[in-house]
Structure 1
């Protein structure tokens, strides 16, 4: 492989656009403000249906903020990472091992669906050290670049390919957008992923993603040792969001506590998942502050006091 230090995020994003157009496995990474600089090109990448992986190690904001951990880019990653009608797949790892595994999976899904894929990390993952095992191999169900990518005229018998996101005819652009939307519905039906921990008999379920879910799991274990029926639900992909897994909590769960390193950006998806049939409360920290195990435990105890 080739590693290249670009002069800016704008340059880096356009480099991976060009690399993705050849069908090669390409990725770039940055942190929060840098991802914002890439957003125009990411929209072009989505419009041209190019397989590109983007890693965002989220830092506290808004503005320049600081380099401490945050999850404040959730809305940007899942709802607004560029202009126009498009979506992208977003992984949310909670450890370095998961980050390694998810980056590999991100490359596979990017090529299978010809879509930009983001791995949404945070400053915790960006600054810790853990032992990892590098997985071998990759999916065999990948797209064939000789069928669509630039540079394969000989393999295509001289047929040219033009990869573009410019459509001056509105009917042609609408047809293209319908194609992108149909692809996204296929991804929604096949690629959602969620981890449930001790939710079967839980009266209170904590919802969290990324490293906060790792902290919340410790809180669940501690509360269980005290006799509290607490569980954890964690989206491994926050886009597409595992709405069905949240809906399945409705018959048995009495309350959901959403915990994040922001001011509640995943709340909308949690409420949509349970179809507003369960009370959902929120606890969060911002500005680079991480919620602690004791803080989460205290919030859960307050909920149990209200339920009793």
Structure 2
């Protein structure tokens, strides 16, 4: 199949349809607006439903309803909009409902800017709503990867009965690349969901709820959820780039990883043994793979579009055995390859001076 040149947001939306998504509820916000715009046209063509809700809060609760009926359903937004959805997201996680949530991050805090950022990392992997819950979080770095991960996101959501977040940013949403689109997966080919509220014909009613007034029952439910999150630990994805002999390892995800990879190539051209570790799953985090990639590194540098949210998890997952430094830009500013290369050279020189 020949590649098709598509904008990131539109490619992601088409991939969702081909993954069997037939319901979308959302509300406009830049820089993800092409997702609902595209789905508003395409979903009716395949017998699906697109609905622009009156608010982000309404949209996420409509997702709850469709997911409860067993449908493949998605919503998308950008940073402030995802914040408004947090109460609904924790309800969905508590009720164990599968859905896909897309966040094309923009600069913050507050209304911030419409430029790309990665400052929603904590919100995504730590849980931005209340209670002990987790999302599966996938972080693509190319438009092709966004397309490929969309089908996986829906499959994981169904397998674990849990919301899955695709964490992108304004660069990935707005840029254009050639992509190979997957074949259509019609809803009729998907596995049945015996727990769904599809009408109690010949069976007892299914009850979907996140309310447990008995604290004993609620604690039991929380233990059940935690065991599920523990099982999710096997779903780790990552990329190693020239880490076999790396004495300095960059760590980045999404768009920042693309910039870091170019800096690794330039560092190698200067004779510096640099490499890149790119987590694709942010939760669960590929801890063992990170440790293996950094086993002979003297320095690790996180490259991110935030004020250092990723660096905390890298230090924790490396168990503080390797110095981890932060390089990032925030508020919609994007790191440059030259600036990352200068950071590499700076820490390589500092290591030589120490010796």
The answer to whether the superposition gives a TM-score over 0.5 is yes
Q: Does 1:94 align with 2:141?
A: yes
After superposition, give the CA deviation of every residue in 1:91-144 in whole Å (9 maximum; x if it has no partner).
111111111111221111000100000000101012111221112366xx9763
Instruction: Please name the residue that 2:340 is paired with.
Output: 296
* Matched residue SS, 2:229: helix
Instruction: Please name the residue that 2:74 is paired with.
Output: 27
Q: Does 1:285 align with 2:291?
A: no
Instruction: Please name the residue that 1:66 is paired with.
Output: 113
Q: Does 1:221 align with 2:268?
A: no
Distance in 2 between residues matched to 1:28 and 1:219, nearest whole Å: 35
Q: Unaligned regions of 5+ residues in structure 1, if any?
A: none
Task: Give the TM-score, by structure 2 length.
Answer: 0.83
Q: CA deviation at 1:292?
A: 0.4
Distance in 2 between residues matched to 1:234 and 1:142, nearest whole Å: 31
Q: CA deviation at 1:23?
A: 0.9
Instruction: Please name the residue that 1:51 is paired with.
Output: 98
Instruction: Please name the residue that 2:8 is paired with.
Output: none
Q: Does 1:15 align with 2:62?
A: yes
After superposition, give the CA deviation of every residue in 1:27-67 in whole Å (9 maximum; x if it has no partner).
00000010011000000000100001000010000000010
Give the alignment partner of residue 144 of structure 1, picking from 176, 188, 192: 192
After superposition, give the CA deviation of every residue in 1:178-229 in whole Å (9 maximum; x if it has no partner).
11000000001x2011111000100000000110001110111111111110
Distance in 2 between residues matched to 1:254 and 1:299, nearest whole Å: 14
Alignment of 1:1-308 (within 5 A): 1-136=48-183, 144-145=192-193, 147-154=194-201, 157-188=202-233, 190-308=234-352
Distance in 2 between residues matched to 1:74 and 1:207, nearest whole Å: 14
Instruction: Please name the residue that 2:35 is paired with.
Output: none
Q: Does the Cα contact within 8 Å between 2:277 and 2:293 map onto a contact in 1?
A: no
Task: Give the TM-score, by structure 1 length.
Answer: 0.95
Aligned residues: 304
Moved over 6 A (4+): none
Q: Does the Cα contact within 8 Å between 1:43 and 1:82 map onto a contact in 2?
A: yes
Q: 1:241 to 1:143 in 2, by over 3 A?
A: farther
- CA-atom RMSD in angstroms: 1.7
Distance in 1 between residues matched to 2:218 and 2:190, nearest whole Å: 26
Q: Unaligned regions of 5+ residues in structure 2, if any?
A: 1-47
Q: CA deviation at 1:287?
A: 0.9
Which moved further from structure 2: 3-12 or 176-185? 3-12
